[in-house]
Amino acid sequence: MSEKIVQTAGREQLGEFAPDFAHFNDDVLFGENWNNQDIDVKTRSITTVVALMAQGITDSSLKYHIMNAKNHGVTQKEMAAVITHVAFYAGWPKAWAVFNLAKEVYNEPVTENTDKDRYQNTIFFPIGNPNDAYAQYFDGQSYLAPVSTEQIPIYNVTFEPGCRNHWHIHHSKSGGGQMLICVGGRGFYQEEGKEARELHPGDVVNIPANVKHWHGAAADSWFSHLAIEIEGEETSNEWCESVAEEDYEKLINIVRENPFR
Protein backbone atom coordinates (compact mmCIF):
# COMPACT_ATOMS: atom_id res chain seq x y z
CA MET A 1 0.00 0.00 0.00
CA SER A 2 1.34 3.45 -0.90
CA GLU A 3 2.02 6.15 1.65
CA LYS A 4 -1.16 7.72 2.99
CA ILE A 5 -1.99 11.12 1.49
CA VAL A 6 -2.60 13.81 4.11
CA GLN A 7 -3.98 17.23 3.16
CA THR A 8 -4.13 20.26 5.47
CA ALA A 9 -4.56 23.14 3.01
CA GLY A 10 -8.30 23.42 3.66
CA ARG A 11 -7.94 23.99 7.38
CA GLU A 12 -4.87 26.20 7.00
CA GLN A 13 -6.53 28.55 4.49
CA LEU A 14 -10.26 28.25 5.23
CA GLY A 15 -10.50 26.58 8.62
CA GLU A 16 -12.09 29.57 10.36
CA PHE A 17 -13.92 31.07 7.38
CA ALA A 18 -15.44 27.83 6.00
CA PRO A 19 -14.80 24.92 8.37
CA ASP A 20 -17.21 22.55 6.60
CA PHE A 21 -15.52 23.12 3.25
CA ALA A 22 -12.13 22.65 4.90
CA HIS A 23 -13.33 19.33 6.34
CA PHE A 24 -14.66 18.09 2.98
CA ASN A 25 -11.46 19.16 1.21
CA ASP A 26 -8.97 17.67 3.68
CA ASP A 27 -10.83 14.67 5.08
CA VAL A 28 -13.12 13.56 2.25
CA LEU A 29 -11.67 14.66 -1.11
CA PHE A 30 -8.02 14.12 -0.22
CA GLY A 31 -8.47 11.97 2.85
CA GLU A 32 -10.92 9.27 1.72
CA ASN A 33 -11.04 9.68 -2.05
CA TRP A 34 -7.29 10.05 -2.78
CA ASN A 35 -6.45 7.21 -0.41
CA ASN A 36 -8.91 4.83 -2.06
CA GLN A 37 -6.90 1.90 -3.47
CA ASP A 38 -9.25 0.95 -6.34
CA ILE A 39 -6.91 2.82 -8.70
CA ASP A 40 -3.29 3.72 -8.07
CA VAL A 41 -2.25 7.27 -7.19
CA LYS A 42 -0.35 7.78 -10.46
CA THR A 43 -3.50 7.05 -12.48
CA ARG A 44 -5.58 9.21 -10.14
CA SER A 45 -3.10 12.07 -10.61
CA ILE A 46 -3.28 11.85 -14.41
CA THR A 47 -7.08 11.68 -14.29
CA THR A 48 -7.20 14.84 -12.18
CA VAL A 49 -4.93 16.78 -14.55
CA VAL A 50 -7.11 15.72 -17.49
CA ALA A 51 -10.32 16.75 -15.71
CA LEU A 52 -9.01 20.19 -14.79
CA MET A 53 -7.54 20.76 -18.27
CA ALA A 54 -10.85 19.81 -19.90
CA GLN A 55 -12.60 22.48 -17.80
CA GLY A 56 -10.05 25.12 -18.80
CA ILE A 57 -8.72 25.48 -15.26
CA THR A 58 -5.11 26.63 -15.60
CA ASP A 59 -4.48 28.33 -12.28
CA SER A 60 -2.37 27.29 -9.29
CA SER A 61 -4.64 24.32 -8.57
CA LEU A 62 -3.70 22.67 -11.87
CA LYS A 63 -0.02 23.43 -11.30
CA TYR A 64 -0.35 21.73 -7.91
CA HIS A 65 -1.85 18.61 -9.50
CA ILE A 66 0.81 18.51 -12.24
CA MET A 67 3.41 18.62 -9.48
CA ASN A 68 1.47 15.93 -7.63
CA ALA A 69 1.50 13.79 -10.78
CA LYS A 70 5.26 14.28 -11.13
CA ASN A 71 5.78 13.32 -7.50
CA HIS A 72 3.80 10.12 -8.07
CA GLY A 73 5.83 8.93 -11.03
CA VAL A 74 4.43 10.69 -14.10
CA THR A 75 7.45 11.46 -16.26
CA GLN A 76 7.86 14.53 -18.45
CA LYS A 77 7.42 12.34 -21.54
CA GLU A 78 4.21 10.84 -20.13
CA MET A 79 2.85 14.27 -19.15
CA ALA A 80 3.58 15.62 -22.63
CA ALA A 81 1.72 12.66 -24.16
CA VAL A 82 -1.25 13.13 -21.81
CA ILE A 83 -1.62 16.84 -22.59
CA THR A 84 -1.18 16.26 -26.33
CA HIS A 85 -3.82 13.52 -26.35
CA VAL A 86 -6.35 15.57 -24.37
CA ALA A 87 -5.76 18.58 -26.66
CA PHE A 88 -7.68 16.82 -29.44
CA TYR A 89 -10.73 16.54 -27.20
CA ALA A 90 -10.51 19.57 -24.90
CA GLY A 91 -9.05 22.16 -27.28
CA TRP A 92 -5.68 23.37 -28.51
CA PRO A 93 -5.57 26.68 -26.57
CA LYS A 94 -6.10 24.79 -23.31
CA ALA A 95 -3.17 22.53 -24.17
CA TRP A 96 -0.85 25.48 -24.73
CA ALA A 97 -1.84 26.93 -21.36
CA VAL A 98 -1.29 23.61 -19.58
CA PHE A 99 2.06 23.06 -21.30
CA ASN A 100 3.25 26.41 -19.92
CA LEU A 101 2.47 25.19 -16.40
CA ALA A 102 3.97 21.76 -17.02
CA LYS A 103 7.22 23.28 -18.29
CA GLU A 104 7.55 25.12 -14.98
CA VAL A 105 6.94 21.93 -13.00
CA TYR A 106 9.25 19.75 -15.12
CA ASN A 107 12.03 22.31 -15.17
CA GLU A 108 14.82 19.78 -15.32
CA PRO A 109 17.28 21.09 -17.91
CA VAL A 110 19.65 18.76 -19.71
CA THR A 111 23.34 19.42 -19.08
CA GLU A 112 24.39 21.53 -22.03
CA ASN A 113 27.40 19.72 -23.46
CA THR A 114 26.35 19.95 -27.12
CA ASP A 115 24.22 22.09 -29.44
CA LYS A 116 21.61 19.34 -29.23
CA ASP A 117 21.52 19.64 -25.43
CA ARG A 118 21.17 23.42 -25.63
CA TYR A 119 18.31 23.10 -28.08
CA GLN A 120 16.61 20.40 -25.98
CA ASN A 121 16.39 22.87 -23.11
CA THR A 122 14.30 25.21 -25.29
CA ILE A 123 11.52 22.72 -26.11
CA PHE A 124 9.17 20.62 -24.00
CA PHE A 125 9.14 17.42 -26.09
CA PRO A 126 12.13 15.06 -26.18
CA ILE A 127 14.37 15.13 -29.25
CA GLY A 128 14.78 11.38 -29.19
CA ASN A 129 17.25 9.25 -31.12
CA PRO A 130 18.79 9.62 -34.58
CA ASN A 131 16.16 8.91 -37.22
CA ASP A 132 18.19 6.09 -38.76
CA ALA A 133 15.23 4.20 -40.25
CA TYR A 134 14.45 7.15 -42.55
CA ALA A 135 17.94 8.61 -42.88
CA GLN A 136 18.03 7.87 -46.62
CA TYR A 137 15.10 10.27 -47.11
CA PHE A 138 16.73 13.20 -45.27
CA ASP A 139 19.56 15.54 -46.20
CA GLY A 140 21.25 16.21 -42.87
CA GLN A 141 20.69 14.75 -39.41
CA SER A 142 17.19 14.27 -38.03
CA TYR A 143 15.87 12.74 -34.80
CA LEU A 144 12.64 10.95 -33.88
CA ALA A 145 10.85 10.68 -30.52
CA PRO A 146 7.50 8.92 -30.05
CA VAL A 147 5.07 11.08 -28.06
CA SER A 148 2.03 8.78 -28.36
CA THR A 149 1.92 5.31 -29.91
CA GLU A 150 -1.70 4.54 -28.99
CA GLN A 151 -4.98 5.72 -30.55
CA ILE A 152 -3.40 8.61 -32.52
CA PRO A 153 0.32 8.04 -33.24
CA ILE A 154 2.28 11.27 -32.69
CA TYR A 155 6.02 11.70 -33.17
CA ASN A 156 8.30 14.63 -32.49
CA VAL A 157 10.61 15.08 -35.48
CA THR A 158 13.68 17.27 -34.96
CA PHE A 159 15.96 18.61 -37.70
CA GLU A 160 19.48 19.91 -37.17
CA PRO A 161 20.19 23.28 -38.87
CA GLY A 162 19.96 22.88 -42.63
CA CYS A 163 18.40 19.42 -42.45
CA ARG A 164 15.29 18.74 -44.54
CA ASN A 165 13.47 15.70 -45.83
CA HIS A 166 13.05 14.83 -49.50
CA TRP A 167 10.01 15.71 -51.51
CA HIS A 168 7.32 13.17 -50.66
CA ILE A 169 3.62 12.39 -51.03
CA HIS A 170 1.13 10.92 -48.56
CA HIS A 171 -1.10 8.94 -50.90
CA SER A 172 -4.67 8.05 -49.92
CA LYS A 173 -7.81 6.96 -51.75
CA SER A 174 -9.83 9.01 -49.26
CA GLY A 175 -8.95 10.92 -46.11
CA GLY A 176 -5.29 10.67 -45.23
CA GLY A 177 -2.62 13.35 -45.27
CA GLN A 178 -0.61 14.67 -42.37
CA MET A 179 -0.65 17.43 -39.75
CA LEU A 180 2.46 19.18 -38.46
CA ILE A 181 2.47 21.14 -35.19
CA CYS A 182 5.61 23.22 -34.78
CA VAL A 183 7.07 23.10 -31.27
CA GLY A 184 10.56 24.57 -31.54
CA GLY A 185 13.09 26.43 -33.63
CA ARG A 186 12.46 27.69 -37.16
CA GLY A 187 11.83 25.80 -40.37
CA PHE A 188 10.07 25.63 -43.71
CA TYR A 189 7.23 23.82 -45.44
CA GLN A 190 6.65 23.85 -49.18
CA GLU A 191 4.16 22.26 -51.56
CA GLU A 192 5.08 21.68 -55.17
CA GLY A 193 4.31 24.71 -57.30
CA LYS A 194 3.88 27.03 -54.30
CA GLU A 195 6.13 29.34 -52.30
CA ALA A 196 7.73 27.98 -49.16
CA ARG A 197 6.18 28.86 -45.83
CA GLU A 198 8.35 29.82 -42.87
CA LEU A 199 7.40 27.98 -39.67
CA HIS A 200 7.68 28.93 -35.99
CA PRO A 201 6.52 27.35 -32.69
CA GLY A 202 2.72 27.29 -32.55
CA ASP A 203 2.24 27.09 -36.33
CA VAL A 204 0.09 24.26 -37.66
CA VAL A 205 0.41 22.81 -41.16
CA ASN A 206 -2.41 20.74 -42.64
CA ILE A 207 -1.01 18.65 -45.48
CA PRO A 208 -3.65 17.22 -47.84
CA ALA A 209 -3.28 13.71 -49.19
CA ASN A 210 -1.68 13.28 -52.61
CA VAL A 211 0.21 16.61 -52.46
CA LYS A 212 3.96 16.62 -53.10
CA HIS A 213 5.82 18.58 -50.40
CA TRP A 214 8.86 18.82 -48.11
CA HIS A 215 9.67 20.32 -44.71
CA GLY A 216 12.76 20.92 -42.65
CA ALA A 217 14.94 23.34 -40.70
CA ALA A 218 16.27 26.75 -41.61
CA ALA A 219 19.99 26.87 -42.31
CA ASP A 220 20.75 28.64 -39.03
CA SER A 221 18.25 27.00 -36.67
CA TRP A 222 17.21 23.68 -35.22
CA PHE A 223 13.56 22.84 -35.89
CA SER A 224 11.00 20.47 -34.33
CA HIS A 225 7.43 19.57 -35.20
CA LEU A 226 4.94 16.96 -34.07
CA ALA A 227 3.97 14.73 -37.00
CA ILE A 228 0.44 13.32 -36.97
CA GLU A 229 -0.68 10.90 -39.66
CA ILE A 230 -4.34 11.33 -40.64
CA GLU A 231 -6.31 8.14 -41.06
CA GLY A 232 -7.38 7.31 -44.59
CA GLU A 233 -8.24 4.53 -47.00
CA GLU A 234 -5.44 2.73 -48.86
CA THR A 235 -2.70 5.04 -47.56
CA SER A 236 0.98 4.91 -48.50
CA ASN A 237 4.00 7.22 -48.58
CA GLU A 238 6.03 7.89 -51.69
CA TRP A 239 9.52 9.36 -51.26
CA CYS A 240 10.82 11.39 -54.18
CA GLU A 241 13.94 13.40 -55.04
CA SER A 242 15.95 15.62 -52.68
CA VAL A 243 15.21 19.32 -52.42
CA ALA A 244 17.57 20.93 -54.93
CA GLU A 245 20.45 22.68 -53.17
CA GLU A 246 20.07 25.78 -55.33
CA ASP A 247 16.36 26.03 -54.47
CA TYR A 248 17.13 25.76 -50.76
CA GLU A 249 19.84 28.42 -51.08
CA LYS A 250 17.39 30.74 -52.85
CA LEU A 251 14.96 30.24 -49.98
CA ILE A 252 17.65 31.11 -47.43
CA ASN A 253 18.56 34.27 -49.33
CA ILE A 254 14.91 35.38 -49.48
CA VAL A 255 14.64 35.07 -45.70
CA ARG A 256 17.90 36.95 -45.17
CA GLU A 257 16.76 39.80 -47.39
CA ASN A 258 13.27 39.91 -45.87
CA PRO A 259 13.63 38.94 -42.18
CA PHE A 260 10.25 40.45 -41.22
CA ARG A 261 8.21 39.08 -44.09
pLDDT reported for residue 59: 87
Instruction: Tell me the sheet residues that pair with 198.
Output: 188
pLDDT reported for residue 31: 83
Candidate from 2-16, 66-80, 109-123 with smallest mean pLDDT: 2-16
Which is nearest to 4 in space by CA: 25, 24, 33? 33
Distance, in Å, from the CA atom of 243 to the CA atom of 214, rounded to the nearest integer, reads 8
Q: What is the average pLDDT across 39-50?
A: 94
Candidate from 31-35, 41-45, 236-240, 250-254 with smallest mean pLDDT: 250-254
The beta-carbon contacts of 108-111 under 8 Å, at least 24 apart in sequence, are 108/76
CA–CA distances in Å: residue 252 to residues 137, 158, 177, 196, 258: 21, 19, 27, 11, 10
**Is 1 a residue whose pLDDT tops 60?**
no
Q: For 157-206, what is each residue's pLDDT tens digit? A: 999 999 999 999 999 999 999 999 999 999 999 999 999 999 999 999 99
Which is nearest to 147 in space by CA: 138, 156, 137, 139? 156
Distance, in Å, from the CA atom of 135 to the CA atom of 158, rounded to the nearest integer, reads 12
Report if pTM > 0.85: no
**Is 80 a residue whose pLDDT tops 60?**
yes
* pLDDT band per the 50, 70, 90 thresholds, residue 84: very high
Q: What is the average pLDDT across 82-107?
A: 92
Q: For 117-131, what is each residue's pLDDT tens digit? A: 889 989 988 899 999
